[in-house]
Amino acid sequence: EPEVTQTPSHQVTQMGQEVILRCVPISNHLYFYWYRQILGQKVEFLVSFYNNEISEKSEIFDDQFSVERPDGSNFTLKIRSTKLEDSAMYFCASTGGQGFYGYTFGSGTRLTVV
Amino acid sequence: AQKVTQAQTEISVVEKEDVTLDCVYETRDTTYYLFWYKQPPSGELVFLIRRNSFDEQNEISGRYSWNFQKSTSSFNFTITASQVVDSAVYFCALRNTGNQFYFGTGTSLTVIP
């Protein structure tokens, strides 16, 4: 079964450093997403991406965050200057379309900011 | 606005007991989709079930069953004859036609041998 692949599975970074989380969505999917889960809390929507632009973003997704689909296969989330409170599990997801299309989550990247 | 409430923060049961995880949702959309995900300690989200708002039939899959009632905006999940491997955090989620997921706060289930 097709999977959404996220790398790395765990990343440790120093506060103030830039970090890039990588995702390879399912190849024929068109819509891409990032979600965040702070330890012990619920999964929260960050951003959706379609047709090479952001279609929706939450209040969490401030100027420190950016997304990109640099080469037609990867989908990246960049945090420009990490803060301690950015420590969380980050999930990438993709879907083929609106409505009742299958929506697949990756296995997540656990980001620890020290 | 969309909202998912899982009032049970933590549940402990003894192995082989049945357990029901509650989920109540709010939405003004007439078309929406409801989901349950399992999150084991390793952290990934394991898809369990998807239901659309027009299909209120209850579903059974092995030891798992789901009860969807639009009248009470609930989508409850029952595990029959629980096993230690069922220990995890379970999330209920709602997805609207805009494709965004709204997750509940999760229920942490511990099955005691």
What does the pLDDT look like over B17-68, one tens digit per residue?
Answer: 999 999 999 999 888 999 999 999 989 999 899 888 988 888 888 999 999 9
Residues of chain A with pLDDT > 90, as a percent, come to 80
Report CA dihedral (A88, A40, A7, A60) to the nearest 10 degrees: -40
Across residues A7-12, what is the average pLDDT? 96
Q: Is the model more confident about A82 or about A97?
A: A82
Supply the mean pLDDT for chain B.
93
State both tokens at B77: 């999940």
* Residue A89: CB atoms within 10 Å: 22
| Distance from C-alpha of B32 to C-alpha of B37, rounded to nearest angstrom | 16
| Distance from C-alpha of A87 to C-alpha of B13, rounded to nearest angstrom | 32
* Residue B108: CB atoms within 10 Å: 15
Contact B97 A98 (CB under 8 A): yes
Nearest CA in chain A to B33: A100
Tokens 């100027």, residue located: A63
Nearest CA in chain B to A89: B43
Contact A42 B44 (CB under 8 A): no
DSSP assignment string, A14-53: -TT--EEEEEE--TT--EEEEEEE-TTS-EEEEEEEETTE
Contact B95 A103 (CB under 8 A): yes
Nearest CA in chain B to A105: B45
Hey, is the C-beta of A60 within 8 angstroms of any chain B C-beta? no
Contact B102 A89 (CB under 8 A): no
Give the Cα-Cα-Cα angle A55, A21, B88 (nearest 5 degrees): 95
Q: Is the sign of the CA dihedral B90, A55, A104, B69 positive or negative? A: positive
Nearest CA in chain A to B35: A103
Task: List, for residues A57-80, the tens digit of each pLDDT value.
Answer: 999 999 999 999 988 889 999 999
| Distance from C-alpha of B26 to C-alpha of B3, rounded to nearest angstrom | 5
Q: Is the model more confident about B14 or about B95?
A: B14
| Distance from C-alpha of A6 to C-alpha of A21, rounded to nearest angstrom | 8
Across residues B87-108, what is the average pLDDT? 91
Residues of B in contact with A56 (CB under 8 A): 98, 100
B→A interface, C-beta within 8 Å: 31, 33, 37, 43-45, 47, 50, 52, 91, 93, 95, 97-106
Contact B99 A98 (CB under 8 A): yes
Give the Cα-Cα-Cα angle B91, B93, B94 (nearest 5 degrees): 170
Contact A33, A92 (CB under 8 A): yes
Picking from A45, A100, A108, the nearest residue to B101 by CB comes out as: A45
Instruction: Say whether the peptide bond before residue B41 is cis (omega within 30 degrees of 0).
Output: no
**CA distances, A98 to each of A10, A26, A70, A102, A107 (Å):** 31, 15, 23, 9, 22
* Closest Cα in chain A, distance from residue B81 (Å): 27
